[in-house]
Amino acid sequence: MSYKFSKEELKNLLVNHNETALKKYNSPKETFIWDETLRDGEQNPTVTLTLDEKIHLVKLMDEIGVNIIAVGYPAVSETEKNIVKTIVNEGTLNASIVGVARPKKEDIDACIEANLKEIVIFMPISPIFMKTLKSTEENELQQISSAIRYAKDNGFKVNWVSEDGSRADLNHLKNVFKTAINAGSERIILGDTVGILTPQSTSYLIKEIKEDVIKPLKSRIPMGIHTHNDFGLAVANTITGVFEGCEFPHTCINGYGERAGNAALEEVVTILERMNIKTSIKLNKLPELSKICEKYFCMPISQYKPIVGENAFSHESGLHIAGILAHPLTYEPINPKMVGRKRKFYIGKFSGSSSIMYALKERLKVLDLECIPDDVIKEIVYQVKKTHESKSKEEIRRSFQLIKDELKKITRGFSDTDFFKIAKKYALPYVPNEFKFKPYKDDKK
């Protein structure tokens, strides 16, 4: 298809402030995607993955170029440990497989038994967590140092994550990272565990860490960032982290994760590639990965989700379609083919003559459009809009409610009734008599 503007003309017609703004950052030329879908992503309420599903997702991520894949927490249970071990034994062609552990000997031992070669040690370091866990800054530093040294002595490649680092005292945050590096951690990761950062505060913290922790070091220590989406800023904060020098952004496929989720893999990598920061990800494989993960998680993604959503490259407005037909970049930031997608044109209420002419050409294969009188085209436009507007809104509402009701069945989780039924069965004999429920005489239950 020929467009109105040539490549040379587009260079002058498209102003790129992103490129200009990025010059003030000392951003890395490439990043290494660290995916948390099988660890943090699976913590999405009501989600459970089978071993076969996890293995399949690992193989897909390995194939598309993910560098590090966190697959679980071996110390959680014997079952989890065996799942991690099986995935490790399956092997990958390119990606490193990591498991997570608290700075405790038993957690690290569980990682040893799972045949892991690389682990992530983490601990919450904010004042509220220290108060909850009855710990002190001194105790934390001692635990971190001992755990990392124990892991290194057992042959592990160690990554350190400062959980809730975004709410930690700045001096303690820096001391934690320094302690982790001195003990042998090969990477450090800032955790925005409850998603409270903004791009501005993300920049501030990373600059502080780079200046006081990383810059004085003789050898270079890479940094990563792990964000949550509680305020819808996970992707923005992750991208900002990369601009400021974080080479290991954490992601989850489709943005899955606890509460409002994590930084979406497909969004992070597409933005970075568009900003000429390499990710090694095969972008055209993203839709397949997204759909398979959506199927396994049983968590439908929005039609409006960037990159992989059904409507991400769809157009109905007559003005938009006319612009697209002149050149796609008028109303699309990237070519859909870049991420394995195709644009769609919808005929409806907002369609215009350009939409109808295009539809006649593409759908009815009418090549000689000059033979169709203008008043006929106008009548087709009128009838299309009339038909679209006359659709029963009540029917649409009924379908919508049906979908919402079905979704509730998928995501309802474990009800209070289910919980108390099990608790009553096993815990009731140990409850003091004065706290036991006294049924009425006519209550046969």
Q: What pLDDT digit, counting tens, does each position of 263-301 carry?
A: 999 999 999 999 999 999 999 999 999 999 999 998 999
Pair (161, 196) in one structural domain? yes
Which of 258-262, 273-277, 409-413, 422-426 has the least mean pLDDT? 409-413
Pair (319, 410) in one structural domain? yes
Own/partner contacts of 147-151, CB < 8 Å, gap of 24 or more, are 147/101, 147/102, 147/103, 147/104, 147/105, 147/108, 147/121, 147/183, 148/103, 148/121, 148/180, 148/183, 148/184, 148/185, 149/183, 149/184, 150/105, 150/108, 151/101, 151/108, 151/111, 151/119, 151/121, 151/184
Mean pLDDT of 17-25: 90
Q: Tell me the CATH number at 120.
A: 3.20.20.70
Pair (174, 35) in one structural domain? yes
Q: CA nearest 101: which of 43, 51, 160, 155?
A: 160
pLDDT at position 358 is 57
pLDDT at position 104 is 97
Does 128 fall in a domain?
A: yes
Pair (323, 277) in one structural domain? no
Does 228 fall in a domain?
A: yes
Query: Would you say residue 39 has pLDDT above 80?
Result: yes
Pair (252, 372) in one structural domain? no
Pair (268, 403) in one structural domain? no
Predicted TM-score (pTM) of this structure: 0.83
pLDDT in tens, 330-364: 777 888 899 999 887 666 555 555 555 555 555 54
Query: Would you say residue 381 has pLDDT above 70?
Result: no
pLDDT in tens, 204-224: 999 999 999 999 998 999 999
Query: Would you say residue 18 has pLDDT above 80?
Result: yes
| Domain encompassing residue 406 | 313-418
Does 372 fall in a domain?
A: yes
Burial of 135 (0-12, 13-18, 19+ CB in 10 A): middle
The structural domain count of the chain equals 2
Pair (361, 237) in one structural domain? no
Domain end marker among 266, 297, 328: 297
pLDDT at position 367 is 47
Pair (288, 345) in one structural domain? no
For residues 13 and 221, the model is more confident at: 221
Query: Would you say residue 441 has pLDDT above 60?
Result: no
Pair (258, 184) in one structural domain? yes
Pair (268, 320) in one structural domain? no
Does 238 fall in a domain?
A: yes
Buried b (16+ CB within 10 A) or exposed e, 175-200: bbbbbbbebbbbbbbbbbbbbbbebe
Domain end marker among 244, 271, 297: 297
pLDDT at position 389 is 60
pLDDT at position 406 is 76
**Reported confidence tier of residue 402, pLDDT bands at 50, 70, 90:** confident
Pair (335, 255) in one structural domain? no
Domain end marker among 251, 272, 297: 297
Mean pLDDT of 109-126: 98
Does 14 fall in a domain?
A: no
Query: Would you say residue 445 has pLDDT above 60?
Result: no
Does 432 fall in a domain?
A: no
Does 229 fall in a domain?
A: yes
Does 425 fall in a domain?
A: no
Pair (333, 210) in one structural domain? no
